[in-house]
Structure 1
């Protein structure tokens, strides 16, 4: 670009010396004349009138300008093609991503996971991104806005590429407990701003990560527990699944308190006004939820309130 700019300025100087005042007196007119000439458009409304000006036009402006124009256009097309290739193969970078949903790994039932998260996005502008080491292309381009590929997801370089530090929510669902553990430890060192949830098959490995990453939400595949409970309490499986699926209307949601409440009554009024039904609270710094009678309890800023509602309450 600097060479092209230099060629344009040099052309203006030579034409000015040749007495082509009609071309050089006005800067906008000259830029218009120069661009239309080197791009071969050449409307003909502006042209050199002196013999020297015509020679400069023929042997310097046209030949040099066309060469530069072709080079710049070729590099531009090449850069666009390269950017598209990198994006299609997941080798690009989204390090500037912010407030996005990030899924790391493509494990069992990942398609259902993507559909549920897509349905639960706070707004359609939030990016839903997948990072994975086993796939070659985006498996769900209609729902996944971005796909990034790597050989190792547990590296600071890759976590930087997917913008993990500033992600709104991070879900780790690799299908391999060892890989999930490595990603959890790498993320714990990064200290991301958003919530991190990881899925394990082994309770032992889940407990190990829970002790090392206390701020992460660690889940164990609970299909067997759900199966056993549903057999003992017929119909409970349907209710439990519906509570976790926002596509069915009322579902379990949470909001972090922005204020202190001396009792349950004022909090209950706000929940009722939003059509929400209180379920329980996870107090700040504690791992277990409190589902007991909370009529006389106090609630502190930073506690997570869980409730059944059709839409999330953004502020409490």
Structure 2
């Protein structure tokens, strides 16, 4: 019986949904017609027949409804039950196959997330750095609930299926692949490729799309940053600053610990930013510094007029103005959202 079911199920999996549903309805109607010929009057009403058909073909068989005539029992045993079981098994098998295919498609990076919104897209894969990057993103416990989408070219399945979505392609500069990431509607984009040339190419492709997402890119060579900035000043760039950290630690021992804590969301207080609301009437940096410390146990570090921070004023004078629309950088044990600050008290 099991071998027969497997055979019919495998054959039905090759059949289209239309043909399969047609087979189901034909079996449903022919079975009712045969029961009508057998004069099974207690089963013929629409609600009774549907209930009897479903419980019989799924082999549940509650027993509250059953054929009363000898012919009806024969038809149920040799036509209704075997035919219904095969059709039901085929439908369930085809559904299971569909969901498994969808799951495998997403695991292999062949999904389409073009309708995703307010998410974070990471272009590039590094076995060690990408894992750390994702840990740091999720280490911010009060971050906005944004999905994370990893986009890579390596031959692999989703390395972190419980945390990130995954897209894979032959080239991260392909328009079709980038469109599948939904980057037009993304909130943040991180570009961290294997080489500076790849990072530059991806950044230029993204800039051409005119996405509103804030783009951050990492380069090994500062000259590549200068080149990119000349074309795309809105992209925030990072480079290898290990030499600066090395010298700073030599001059001021323990500096590496401070830098690590300022950057990591996994260890102690760290650095965050918050945008000043548009209806804010303004205050001074000294007043902001005092207010954040007294009310939120946070330390204001600086103020910038733009999201890229190119015009950052770190530790400005106490009388420096803080106005609507600016970005305030601060250090705190956890993120402070704009709505959690009573700006009217400032």
TM-score by length of 1: 0.84
Q: 1:156-193 CA deviation, whole Å, 9 max, x = no partner?
A: 32223333233333211113111111221222233444
Equivalent residues of 1:48, 1:54 under 8 A apart: yes
**How far has the Cα of 1:244 moved from its partner?**
0.9
Between 81-90 and 8-17, the greater mean CA deviation after superposition: 8-17
Please name the residue that 2:137 is paired with. Answer: 117
Give the one of 248, 262, 277 matched to 2:299: 277
Which runs of no fewer than 5 residues in structure 1 stay unpaired?
none
Which runs of no fewer than 5 residues in structure 2 stay unpaired?
1-16, 342-346
**How far has the Cα of 1:122 moved from its partner?**
3.3
Please name the residue that 1:239 is paired with. Answer: 258
Relative to structure 1, is the Cα distance of residues 153 and 16 closer, same or farther in structure 2, using a 3 angstrom cutoff?
same
Equivalent residues of 2:148, 2:165 under 8 A apart: yes
Equivalent residues of 1:118, 1:128 under 8 A apart: no
Relative to structure 1, is the Cα distance of residues 95 and 5 closer, same or farther in structure 2, using a 3 angstrom cutoff?
farther
Q: Secondary structure at the match of 2:314?
A: coil
Please name the residue that 1:216 is paired with. Answer: 235
Structure 1 CA distance for aligned equivalents of residues 129 and 82 of structure 2: 61
Q: 1:235-265 CA deviation, whole Å, 9 max, x = no partner?
A: 2222122211122221111011113342226
- 2:98 is equivalent to residue 75 of structure 1: no
Give the one of 108, 112, 115 matched to 1:89: 108
Relative to structure 1, is the Cα distance of residues 124 and 294 closer, same or farther in structure 2, using a 3 angstrom cutoff?
closer
Equivalent residues of 1:12, 1:24 under 8 A apart: no
Structure 1 CA distance for aligned equivalents of residues 28 and 263 of structure 2: 66
Equivalent residues of 1:175, 1:200 under 8 A apart: no
Give the one of 274, 293, 309 matched to 2:332: 309
Between 70-79 and 304-313, the greater mean CA deviation after superposition: 70-79
Relative to structure 1, is the Cα distance of residues 140 and 74 closer, same or farther in structure 2, using a 3 angstrom cutoff?
closer
Structure 2 CA distance for aligned equivalents of residues 74 and 33 of structure 1: 22
Structure 2 CA distance for aligned equivalents of residues 42 and 136 of structure 1: 46
Structure 2 CA distance for aligned equivalents of residues 123 and 8 of structure 1: 55
Relative to structure 1, is the Cα distance of residues 140 and 149 closer, same or farther in structure 2, using a 3 angstrom cutoff?
same
Please name the residue that 2:8 is paired with. Answer: none
Give the one of 46, 53, 56 matched to 1:34: 53
Relative to structure 1, is the Cα distance of residues 14 and 141 closer, same or farther in structure 2, using a 3 angstrom cutoff?
closer
| Alignment size in residue pairs | 314
Please name the residue that 1:293 is paired with. Answer: 316
Q: Secondary structure at the match of 2:313?
A: coil
Q: 1:94-135 CA deviation, whole Å, 9 max, x = no partner?
A: 334333333221236333222222212535964333221125
The CA RMSD over aligned residues, in Å, is 3.0
Structure 1 CA distance for aligned equivalents of residues 144 and 329 of structure 2: 23
Equivalent residues of 1:277, 1:308 under 8 A apart: yes
Q: Secondary structure at the match of 1:248?
A: coil
Structure 2 CA distance for aligned equivalents of residues 141 and 201 of structure 1: 29
Equivalent residues of 1:24, 1:30 under 8 A apart: yes
